[in-house]
Structure 1
Amino acid sequence: METLVPQPPLDDRPPVRPAAPRLRADATRNRERILAAARELFVEVGVDVPMDEIARRAGVGNATVYRNFPDRAALAQQVALSVLDRILVRAREAQFEPDAFAALCRFVHAAADERVGALCTLLSEHVALHADDELFAVKTLLDGAVQSLMDRAQQAGTMRTDVAPGDVFVALARLTRPLPGSQCLAHDESMFVHRHLALFLDGLRAAGCSELPGRPITLEELRRP
C-alpha cells in the first residue's frame, strides 16, 4: 500500500516557483551583491538610481548587472521579491513568540529593519504586483501571516480591536522611509525609526486606548491599484 505523506495546509505552503538554472558560486555571489546594492541604493537615493551606480556599489561591471537583470524592471522585481521573502520569514518567526502582542511587536521591528518603506515605492511605482504571480503569491502569504498575528493579539485582549493589518503596513511604510532634510538624524536613523515604531505600537495596546477617527485600513484597500 502506498504511504501517504502529510502535506502542510495550502496557506502555509511557500509559493511554487519554476526551477532556475543553477549558477556557479561566483555568479551567485555577484547576483546577491547586485541585489543587496540595489536594495541599499533604492532606499538611499530612490528607485531611479543609475544602474552604473548599482554596479559600482556591488563591485561588479555593468555587463554583469545586465547579464543578471536585463533592465531596471527586472531588477526592481527581484529586489521586491527578496524583501517580501525576508519579511515573510520574520512574520513566521514571530508566531513562535508566546506573548501575542509581543509577537506583533517583534514582527513590526523586524520588518522595519528590512526597510519595507522602500519596498512600498517599488510595488506602487515600478512593479505590477497583480500582474506578477510570484510576487502576488508571497504578498498573499505575508498578508495572512500578519493577519494571524493581529488576530491572536486581539483575541488575547491585549490589542485594540478597531485596527486592521493595513494600519500596520501604512505605519511601517511611512516610518521606514528616509525623512527629507533630516541630516541631523542620519547618524542614528535606525534608532529613530524603532523609537517611533515603539510609540505607534503602544497606541495599538488595548489598555487605555482612545477613540480613533476614521476606520481601519483593510488589506483589500491596500491592494487596489
Structure 2
Amino acid sequence: MKNRNLPNRSDALERRELLLAAANTVFSKYGVTAPLDQVVSQAGVGRATLYRNFPDRAALMEALLTRAADRIEERFLSKRKGNAQDFKVLMQVLAGFALESAPMSDYWKAIDPGHPAIVGVRARLVELAREPLEKGQAAGQCNPALQPTDIPLLIGMLAASLRGRTDKERLLFVKRSLQFLCEGVLVQVDSHAPEWEPE
C-alpha cells in the first residue's frame, strides 16, 4: 500500500519547478547573490524543500542553467522554419530568453568555466546553432566569420544589455542589442520581416 505521507513524483517535480521559477525571479531582480530565503519565500515552500532539491546555491544555479538550455532549445525547435532564416530565429529566441532570464549571464560568470554543468550547456547551445548557422552562411545571409562556438558570447552580449531600471528600459535595450548584433552577424536582413517582440 502506498504511503500517503510521501509526496508523489509529480508533486516533487512541481515543487522543484516552483523553486527554479522563484530563483529566476529573485535572481533577476536582486542578483545571483540574493539570500536563498527570498527564493523560498517566492516559491511558497519550506526551506527543507529547497535544500532537499538543491543542497547549495551552486546546485541551484546549475539547475537554472540546464533549465535555460532546455527552454531555449524547445522554443527554437518550435519556431524554426527549416531554411536559411533559422539563425535569425535562434537570435530572436536568445534575445527573448535573455529578457526573461536576466541573470543568465551571471550564472555563466559565477560558475567555473570548466565545471561539467557549464561545459554541457555550452556544448548543447553550440550544437543547436551549428546547422542554422551553416545554412545561413551557405545562403550568404550570415557573416562567414561567425562560428557556432560564438553563441555563448552572443548570449552574454544580449544579457549584458539588461541593466535598465524598468521592464520597459530592459525591453528597449535588448531590442537595440539584437538589432546591432544582427547587423554584425547577418549579411542580409529581410526588410519585410515583422519586428521582433518578446513572448
- Per the normalisation by structure 2, the TM-score is 0.76
SS of 1:114's equivalent? helix
Shift of 1:120: 2.9
Q: Is the 8 A contact 2:86 2:132 kept in 1?
A: yes
Q: Tell me, in whole angstroms, the C-alpha distance in 1 between the residues paired with 2:120 and 2:40.
A: 29
Q: Is the 8 A contact 1:90 1:111 kept in 2?
A: no
Structure 2 residue aligned with 1:3: none
Superposed counterparts of 1:155-174, under 5 Å: 155-174=138-157
Matched residues, number: 181
Shift of 1:178: 5.6
Question: Any stretches of 5+ residues in structure 1 without a counterpart?
Answer: 1-21, 209-225
Shift of 1:168: 4.5
Q: Tell me, in whole angstroms, the C-alpha distance in 1 between the residues paired with 2:162 and 2:188.
A: 31
Q: Percent identity?
A: 28
- Cα-Cα RMSD: 2.7
Structure 2 residue aligned with 1:113: 96
Structure 2 residue aligned with 1:38: 23
Establish whether residue 198 from structure 1 lines up as the match of residue 173 from structure 2.
Answer: no
Structure 2 residue aligned with 1:217: none
Superposed counterparts of 1:76-95, under 5 Å: 76-93=61-78
Shift of 1:64: 1.6
Q: Is the 8 A contact 1:123 1:129 kept in 2?
A: yes
Shift of 1:29: 1.4
1:86-113 superposed Cα distances (whole Å, 9 cap, x missing partner):
223334445x41441x211111111222
**Higher deviation after alignment, 154-163 or 185-194:** 185-194
Q: Tell me, in whole angstroms, the C-alpha distance in 2 between the residues paired with 1:122 and 1:171.
A: 15
Question: Any stretches of 5+ residues in structure 2 without a counterpart?
Answer: 1-6, 190-199
Q: Is the 8 A contact 1:117 1:176 kept in 2?
A: yes
Q: Tell me, in whole angstroms, the C-alpha distance in 2 between the residues paired with 1:203 and 1:70.
A: 42
Q: Is the 8 A contact 1:52 1:62 kept in 2?
A: yes
